[in-house]
């Protein structure tokens, strides 16, 4: 199931909201990472910059239009280290496809997606994908008037994400301000 309020505006508009390189640096996406999994990769706003930092990047998205957009970018710019997976991260079918990644990821990104219906279930999946010591990075729209983002009623505050992540077994490592519109949280799997 596509998560609520997770449709995208056109690419030009979406790309004005972020400086992906500086967000990734603040979120500790660094060159030591072998395997990074980007859940709900959208247009690849972060996936493409991630792939220039890490050894292997995997982008997952339920929207065939987003996967097609990323596939064309990969072809055009000849990215060699990106794998795309089309599907619903919360479905048992995708669990099968992800079996080879279980316990192997150094980093999993949850960028602008934790307003989903069952955030702890999603965080449980992320926990399984990570190796011990691996990191999960979540960014989200701040709880204020912003030019995009999910409805305020379902938009999680950082302290809410911290509670969900703790329930899934994570340890909170840091909380960041990512101006102008976002905050970030970094968790580790013990
Ligand atoms: C708000 S966009 C964020 C995209 C990207 N993470 C970013 O920050 O630029 C959320 C993305 O999650 C995808 N998505 C929604 N529900 C999903 C699901 N159940 N499984 C996988 N992807 C999903 C949407 O198709 C969309 O591309």
Q: How much is the mean pLDDT over the chain?
A: 96
Mean pLDDT on 132-144: 97
Render the burial of 33-50: b for 16+ CB within 10 Å, e for the rest: bebbbbbbbbbbbbbbbb
The answer to whether 178 touches 139, Cβ cutoff 8 Å, is: yes
In this predicted structure, the answer to whether residue 95 has a pLDDT above a threshold of 90 is no
Domains of the chain: 19-188 (3.40.50.150)
Ligand 1 atom with least separation from CA of 38:
6
Mean pLDDT on 177-190: 97
* Residue ID of nearest Cα to ligand 1 atom 17: 2
Taking the alpha carbons at both ends of the chain, their separation in whole angstroms is 30
Ligand 1 mean position, distance from CA 61 (Å): 6
Distance (Å, rounded) from C-alpha 35 to C-alpha 144?
Answer: 34
Ligand 1 mean position, distance from CA 55 (Å): 23
The predicted pLDDT at position 69 comes to: 98
* Residue ID of nearest Cα to ligand 1 atom 14: 40
Mean pLDDT on 44-53: 98
Residues 50-61 pLDDT 10s? 999 999 999 999
The predicted pLDDT at position 83 comes to: 98
Choosing from 27, 38, 42, 155 the residue with most ligand 1 atoms within 8 A of its CB, the one to mutate for a pocket test is 42
Please tell me the pTM assigned to this model.
Answer: 0.98
Distance (Å, rounded) from C-alpha 21 to C-alpha 155?
Answer: 24
* Residue ID of nearest Cα to ligand 1 atom 13: 40
Ligand 1 mean position, distance from CA 139 (Å): 13
Ligand 1 mean position, distance from CA 103 (Å): 22
156: its two tokens: 């999680």
Residues with CB under 6 A from ligand 1: 1-3, 6, 8, 40-42, 45-46, 60-63, 66, 88-90, 111-113
Ligand 1 mean position, distance from CA 76 (Å): 22
């Amino acid at each position: 199931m596509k998560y609520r309020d997770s449709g995208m505006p056109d690419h030009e508009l979406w790309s004005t909201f972020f400086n992906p390189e500086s967000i990734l640096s603040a979120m500790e996406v660094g060159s030591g990472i072998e395997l990074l999994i980007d859940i709900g990769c959208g247009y690849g706003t972060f996936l493409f910059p991630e792939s220039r930092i890490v050894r292997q990047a995997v982008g997952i998205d339920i929207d065939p239009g987003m996967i097609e957009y990323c596939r064309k970018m990969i072809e055009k710019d000849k990215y060699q280290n990106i794998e795309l997976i089309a599907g619903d991260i919360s479905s048992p079918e995708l669990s099968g496809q992800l079996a080879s990644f279980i316990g192997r990821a150094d980093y999993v990104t949850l960028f602008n997606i934790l307003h989903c219906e069952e955030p702890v279930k999603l965080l449980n999946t992320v926990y399984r994908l990570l190796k011990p010591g691996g990191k999960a990075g979540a960014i989200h729209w701040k709880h204020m008037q912003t030019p995009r983002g999910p409805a305020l009623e379902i938009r999680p505050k950082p302290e809410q994400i911290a509670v969900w992540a703790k329930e899934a077994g994570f340890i909170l490592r840091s909380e960041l301000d990512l101006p102008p519109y976002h905050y970030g949280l970094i968790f580790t799997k013990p």
